Chain A
Amino acid sequence: MRWEQEYLQPEELKALQIRRLKELVARVYERVPFYRRAMDERGVRPEHVKSLEDLKLLPITDKEILRQHYPFGMLAVPTSDILEIHVSSGTTGDPTVVAYTKHDIGLWSEVMARTIACAGGTKDDLIHNAYGYGLFTGGLGVHYGAIELGASVVPVSAGGTKRQIKLIQDFKPTILTCTPTYALYMAEEAREMDIDPRKTSLRIGIFGAEPWSEGMRREIEAAWDLLATDIYGLSEIIGPGVAQECPGQDGLHLWADHFLPEVLDPDSLEPVGEGEDGMLVLTTLTKEGMPLLRYATRDIVSITYEPCPHCGRTMPRISKIKGRTDDMLIIRGVNVFPSQIESVLMGIDEVQPHYQLVVTREKGLDELEVWVEVEERLFSDEVRALEALEEKIRSEIEGVLGLTVKVKLVEPKTIERSIGKAKRVIDKRRI
């Protein structure tokens, strides 16, 4: 299947984008009180937006704004028009909500079908979808795309690795979709079951929801003997299906007919040049339920508008995610913010102890260790009491993150401080 919009000439794409942007701005100004207020404060009226350069007149939206409008304050339609609701992992307090109308589910299906096709998938493929189904958008996004493409999909979801490997052996899927760390973990498990993952029927992998390196790509490709491609997306924009690599593995084609990208300096919010690193900011040109103007993804990328030398698509291409503008960590697909750990520690002892998050990758799976300095207030001279403290911290953090962690009590001043401020995160993963 071929979507002609992916091959539009630059002027044609721009004309489409500006037409959609004008319509969008008029719509959110009329229907979303936050946008009306933010535009009024800037003295901007919808008719002031005449070209893509006028984007800079529009307000930036960030996660904090979404959180302030929890749950349905950012909706541009009545809640009765909503078909599906997902939430993204929040920091402290409220998560962020994403709501889809019938139109939006159609849009999501389309961009995910295009994503799978971009990776090399066709209607004849069988997709083993090991992204989690549920509030996380990964599972259902791939599912909708597979259905739209006319491919077959096994909604196996995450976990139950031995069963996954059995199903791969029995059903002979050709495409694997999951997080890159899980792909490595599964290969390891397969080998332990005396099954050679290189001999399975899988030919393409669509991996994402967490950062991964070229080194890891080669490791996965060698382990499974497949083509490993990178997918990008985020719940706030649509879920998976914002950008995807073609088999050329030379940048992720961003579906700019629906999602208008900007790459900005994270501090000044001024655009950076083509090929320079900056924060990816996305405007949802066609979304209906919860359209967003200039959403600050906090992901650092570079962008190129050169047509792809491999597949000829003219959509802009973004680099793999090079980092974050905040210190968010993605561990086994779960977003983790140091502020979440902070709030737990504050709750246990009124004064926040020094702590550090240490992330490691064992057998392809991410492990989060929380180191907490034992200051006098926390110290008991009984082993039992300290173990109980460790356990209390562990269970409360797990409750907040929904992720198993290891807690380690360490001596004061163990945690490295830079100019009096503790370094919060040590990421030892090879990514």
Chain B
Amino acid sequence: MTAKQLSIFLENRSGRLHEVTDVLGRAGINIRALSLADTSDFGILRLIVDKPDEAYRILRNSGFTVRESDVLAVEVSDQPGGLAKVLEIFRNGGINVEYMYAFVEKSGKNAIVIFRTEDISRSSNLLSEHGVSQIEGEKLYKM
């Protein structure tokens, strides 16, 4: 059970972040969650959007280097120790987390954490075995 994430290569130049969001905004695409990883030279913007395939096409046509990748969206109870519980499952399963970022659901009861791991399908199975619920892409995009 995975979701689609878009990653965009950005040089560290003023205004680039605005340009990406502006292109998406004009196309009526809503950003659900985002995270930015950066080095001194460049950054990688990671996005969960409501219409990933359309967003991919639009960004590409606008000249951005963009890539679609599969991530896990995990519901974590919004209380102390909630995230640690999930990470413990990964640790015990010997799975490395490449990166992760979180956002809070509108209803406010749960946090949603996006995980990118070395082995997405094994990670997903492992979470299911431990009764951790994951959110399917289609549902995530509409949240």
Contacts and interface: CB of A to CB of B under 8 A. Distances in A.
A376 interface: yes
Interface stretch (B58-66, B74-82, B105-113, B126-134): B58-66
A383 B39 contact: yes
A414 to B, nearest CB: 7
B64 A411 contact: yes
A412 B65 contact: yes
Contacts of A386: 9, 39, 42, 44
A380 B7 CA distance: 8
By secondary structure, the B interface counts as strand
Contacts of A387: 39
A383 B37 contact: yes
A380 B41 CA distance: 15
Given A381-B69, A382-B98, A387-B39, A412 B63 contact: yes
Contacts of A412: 63-65
A381 B16 CA distance: 17
A409 interface: yes
B67 A410 contact: no
B63 A413 contact: yes
A70 interface: no
A171 interface: no
Bin the interface of chain B by size.
20 to 34
B44 A414 contact: no
Contacts of B64: 411-412
B11 interface: yes
A375 B9 CA distance: 9
Interface in A165-217: none
A382 B98 CA distance: 8
B49 interface: no
B72 interface: no
Interface in A367-385: 374-376, 379-383
A-B pairs, top 5 by smallest CB distance, nearest first, are: A381-B7, A379-B65, A374-B9, A383-B37, A411-B11
Interface of A: 374-376, 379-383, 386-387, 390, 408-414
18 contacts: A376-B65, A376-B66, A379-B7, A379-B9, A379-B65, A381-B44, A381-B46, A382-B44, A382-B116, A383-B37, A386-B39, A390-B41, A409-B11, A410-B11, A411-B9, A411-B63, A411-B65, A412-B63
